Structure 1
Amino acid sequence: MYRFLLTPRWWGINVFVLLAIPFCVFMGSWQLSRFEARVEDHRSAGAQAAENKREAARPLTELLPVDKATVGRQATASGRYGKQLLVPDRELDGKRGYYVLTLLRTDDGKALPVVRGWLPGDADRAEAPAAPTGEVTITGVLQASEMPGENGVPAQGGLPSGQTAAISAASLVNLVPYDVYDAWVTLNKADSAMKPVPATTPQDTGLDLKAFQNLGYTGEWFVFAGFVVFMWFRLFRREVEFVRDAELGLVPDGAADGGAPQQTGEQPSEGPAQEKANA
């Protein structure tokens, strides 16, 4: 009854099933591991943030370049404030306003972008408080350069002179005549009655949309594996029933070999012997 399993057609079906099921299981397991890794990153980021609050500030040069291990840590730097810029269209406590960004010229000749605080209102008509003069030492949270269009950073262009959309070395190097660190600091205590800007969380370290996409893909791949098994079993049962019907004489012998009985609307023509008998 099961000799049909040795036909070329069923050899192809079986090989496909034997390859498809492990592949679907592997892909589902891989997506699940990605979700678990993001969950672990989320836990580590929470623990890291709590540790950063207790940790003493370290010199800026010891924390560069910025990565997942150093972003959010307390950093300190000394120098003199230079050019000041406004970062418009930034939200804090549900209100729209702007960051006051001042470049801190350090002893090595490079400038560190420092967000001194946030003010409500429109940056186009703003009168931001001037930065302190003379040598200063600042302490704040180290942040990675922003990317326009990501993590709430506006991607607008064509801003007025004295404004920048993103806090990044790539943007600021065109606005100031000196080198800029590929990082920035938000002060723990804002200057001149401004509100301090809270540190942003690092990218890809939380239970965001990407994490739940991984979880959804996990379910999809396991469903695909189950669907392959279901379709194989359905085809197998259908073939067994067809062979059983053929053995009972319910279908023509040709159809039992995998063919299907031909059905037309015309009646078979009578042969010569039948015509003589009718005469």
Structure 2
Amino acid sequence: MLRPRWLAMLALCLVVAGVFAWLGQWQLGRALDTSATTPGETEQVLPIEQVVEPGAYLNSPLVGQKVQVSGHFVAGDFIVVSERMNGDDQGFWVTGQFRLDGTENPTSLAVAVGWAATLEKARDAASTLNAGGQSTSTMTGRLISDEGPRVPPRNDPDALRSMSPAALLSRWHDIAGLDVYRPYLVADQPLGSLVRIVSHAPAGGGGLNWLNLFYAAEWAVFAGFAFYLWYRLARDAWEKEVEELADAQGGELA
């Protein structure tokens, strides 16, 4: 291990481990840089660009933040999502693709525009909205993190059971070069015949981003693996030399 070759390899591993350690420290800082929100802070309506960028995850303290967006709904992209609670009642959401105005690239936000008690009412409302025009409007609502896709039931493979902008994107129209927000918006005011979705203000609390914390631990493991790799390579080379020396000595004795 004291040979120049392996000392040079160790220096390289130190550089790699140092980079991994810096990345881990950065992720740890992001995990802890989530101070508690004060009561009512999320109720201050902000432009969405001040809260989150398209494609970015919504930081924990900002989940439930009230935002305002201007744009229009894309006709034909009102879709029903099942298994949605509204208070104590289970029903269905109608969601739409809201195309924002004033963005450099085409940018859309998934919006839950209202609740219906039955699938028939939800589908009727979605059909009516899909038949409407694309008039410009301003939407205000609460930003919620993506729930992630869920497996649909066997008897209805096209059903959506979770509010996932990624899953909705696969069914939207006109998506070439489209930027999409990861969180979705629960509208303050329902559209059409739909019922307003109950959306309570989040309870203020300490913020700890578990995803960033996991990434920080992951980078620490990578840094340790860099040293283990150097040790393993050096040991393998040493064991090979010992075997060759033993073979050579055995040949001389024979």
Give the structure-2-normalised TM-score. Answer: 0.52
Q: Is residue 175 from structure 1 mapped to residue 171 from structure 2 by the alignment? A: yes
> Offset of 1:166 from its aligned partner?
2.1
- Where does the alignment leave 5 or more consecutive residues of structure 2 unmatched? 1-33, 207-254
> Offset of 1:92 from its aligned partner?
1.8
CA distance in structure 1 between the aligned counterparts of 2:114 and 2:64, rounded to whole angstroms: 17
Answer whether contact 1:87 1:123 (CA < 8 A) is retained: no
Distance 1:135 1:125, change over 3 A: closer
SS at match of 2:78: strand
SS at match of 2:98: strand
Residue among 152, 156, 164 paired with 1:156: 152
CA distance in structure 2 between the aligned counterparts of 1:74 and 1:173, rounded to whole angstroms: 23
Q: Is residue 72 from structure 1 mapped to residue 64 from structure 2 by the alignment? A: yes
- Show the counterpart of 2:124: 127
Which letter does structure 2 place at the counterpart of 1:194? L
> Offset of 1:157 from its aligned partner?
4.8
> Offset of 1:126 from its aligned partner?
3.1
Answer whether contact 1:145 1:182 (CA < 8 A) is retained: yes
- Show the counterpart of 2:189: 189
Q: What is the percentage of aligned positions where both structures have the same residue?
A: 20
Question: CA RMSD for the aligned pairs?
Answer: 3.1
Which letter does structure 2 place at the counterpart of 1:188? D
SS at match of 2:163: coil
- Show the counterpart of 1:216: none
Answer whether contact 2:71 2:137 (CA < 8 A) is retained: yes
Residue among 60, 70, 74 paired with 2:48: 60
Answer whether contact 1:143 1:200 (CA < 8 A) is retained: no
Give the structure-1-normalised TM-score. Answer: 0.47
Which letter does structure 1 place at the counterpart of 2:97? L
Distance 1:128 1:168, change over 3 A: same
CA distance in structure 1 between the aligned counterparts of 2:160 and 2:107, rounded to whole angstroms: 19
CA distance in structure 2 between the aligned counterparts of 1:118 and 1:125, rounded to whole angstroms: 7
Distance 1:101 1:125, change over 3 A: closer
SS at match of 1:103: strand
Which letter does structure 1 place at the counterpart of 2:125? A
Q: Deviations over 1:95-150 (max 9, x none)?
A: 221001011012331211111110101259831153363111101111111135xx
SS at match of 1:126: helix
CA distance in structure 1 between the aligned counterparts of 2:122 and 2:82, rounded to whole angstroms: 11
- Show the counterpart of 1:138: 139
Answer whether contact 1:115 1:186 (CA < 8 A) is retained: yes
**Which structure has the bigger radius of gyration?**
1
SS at match of 1:190: coil
> Offset of 1:93 from its aligned partner?
3.1
> Offset of 1:192 from its aligned partner?
2.3
Q: Deviations over 1:130-179 (max 9, x none)?
A: 3363111101111111135xxxxx65356455x42222232122212413
Which letter does structure 1 place at the counterpart of 2:80? L
- Show the counterpart of 2:148: 147
> Offset of 1:86 from its aligned partner?
0.3
Count of aligned pairs between the two proteins? 154
Q: Is residue 51 from structure 1 mapped to residue 41 from structure 2 by the alignment? A: yes
- Where does the alignment leave 5 or more consecutive residues of structure 1 unmatched? 1-40, 149-153, 207-279
> Offset of 1:182 from its aligned partner?
0.8
SS at match of 1:199: coil
| More contact order relative to length (CA 8 Å, sep ≥ 6) | 2
